[in-house]
């Protein structure tokens, strides 16, 4: 069975059995290795298999006659393959993913003794164009947060007093903006994650790394309202801080829907995601003078470079304000 085809590179449409014997054997063994020994999904296995076959077909076409032996493949050959997929419309992100597949294939060839070293290790992925994240305007943040408890879910009618669901939604949006935590971190919070005495939350981030993040008075008030008047009406899950209407721990999809409704019309994009609130919290802190390393610690970024995008957002805001306000701009 041949690997699936993907757009963005030319192929000679060779069936696997038409490849040189060395290539076909290596491809078959690689696919078996992905299936048996590596913890990859079926989608990833199929994609990596297609990447390997595409580069092998390229080597057949490039040789013109006697195919190059796998042990003789050089970085230059792979760069020519990369150039071809660029010329045939692959985006930078698509090309980067294909490179990952080719690196995996050549790593297998080295492990299985077919080659001495992998030429793909030095094959560089193209840089993705930088894109500033959409963020909530500071002037709109207060309005959004104040209106969250009055924004009914799609399946609920507005009432005079906030419903348990609305109290939950207000507390979730407040916490996301106040702390900049990820949606997965929010949904994994337990009741004992909150230290009301010191106004700190214990957050379990990527790699199961814990950090303690402060929260302020508005978040404290929203949490107390949810815990005092809302949670007991919904909760069946004994530990989870936030639960859905059926009482189980809330899932990220529900949180995304809540944030989308709450922020519609108030940001640079029609609806923000929870990650947009994370961007907003970090950007507003930087704009108001926070040290970038303190923001890094709050967000749980392992690398400072991940946090520095927020300085770029702030500079962009500064330039926009300058163009709008300065008579000589």
Catalytically annotated residues: 182, 206, 275, 278, 301, 310
CB 214 within 8 A of CB 294: no
Instruction: Give the three-class secondary structure for 204.
Output: strand
Label residues 185-204 b or e (16+ Cβ within 10 Å = b): bbbbbeeebbeeeeebbebb
Cα–Cα distance list, 74 to 68, 77, 78, 97, 111 (Å): 10, 5, 7, 20, 17
Cα–Cα distance list, 36 to 4, 27, 29, 33, 142 (Å): 19, 14, 10, 5, 53
What phi and psi values does residue 172 have, to the nearest 5 degrees? -65, -45
Residue 243 bridge partners (DSSP): 249
Going by the DSSP 8-state scheme, the letter that residue 191 receives in this structure is G
């Amino acid at each position: 069975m041949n690997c699936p085809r993907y757009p963005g590179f030319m192929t000679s449409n060779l069936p696997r059995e038409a490849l040189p014997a060395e290539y076909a054997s290596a491809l078959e063994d690689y696919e078996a290795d992905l299936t048996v020994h590596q913890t990859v999904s079926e989608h990833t296995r199929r994609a990596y298999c297609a990447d390997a076959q595409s580069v092998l077909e390229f080597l057949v076409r490039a040789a013109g006659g006697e195919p190059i032996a796998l042990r003789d493949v050089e970085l230059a050959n792979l760069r020519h393959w990369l150039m071809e997929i660029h010329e045939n419309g692959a985006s930078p992100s698509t090309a980067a993913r294909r490179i990952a597949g080719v690196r995996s294939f050549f790593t297998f060839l080295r492990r299985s003794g077919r080659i001495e070293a992998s030429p793909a290790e030095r094959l560089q992925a193209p840089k993705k164009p930088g894109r500033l994240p959409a963020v909530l305007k500071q002037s709109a943040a207060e309005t959004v947060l104040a209106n969250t408890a009055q924004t009914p879910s799609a399946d609920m009618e507005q009432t005079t007093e906030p419903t348990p669901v609305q109290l939950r939604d207000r507390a979730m949006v407040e916490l996301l903006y106040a702390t900049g935590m990820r949606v997965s971190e929010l949904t994994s919070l337990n009741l004992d994650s909150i230290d009301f005495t010191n106004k700190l939350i214990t957050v379990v981030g990527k790699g199961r790394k814990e950090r303690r993040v402060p929260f302020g008075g508005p978040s404290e008030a929203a949490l107390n309202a949810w815990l005092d008047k809302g949670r007991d009406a919904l909760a069946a899950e004994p530990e989870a801080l936030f639960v859905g209407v059926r009482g189980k721990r809330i899932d990220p999809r529900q949180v995304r829907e809540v944030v989308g409704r709450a922020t519609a019309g108030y940001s640079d994009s029609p609806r923000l995601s929870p990650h947009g609130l994370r961007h907003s919290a970090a950007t507003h802190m930087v704009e108001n003078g926070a040290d970038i390393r303190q923001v890094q610690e709050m967000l749980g970024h392992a690398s400072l470079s991940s946090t520095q995008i927020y300085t770029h957002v702030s500079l962009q805001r500064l330039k926009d304000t300058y163009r709008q306000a300065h008579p000589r701009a």
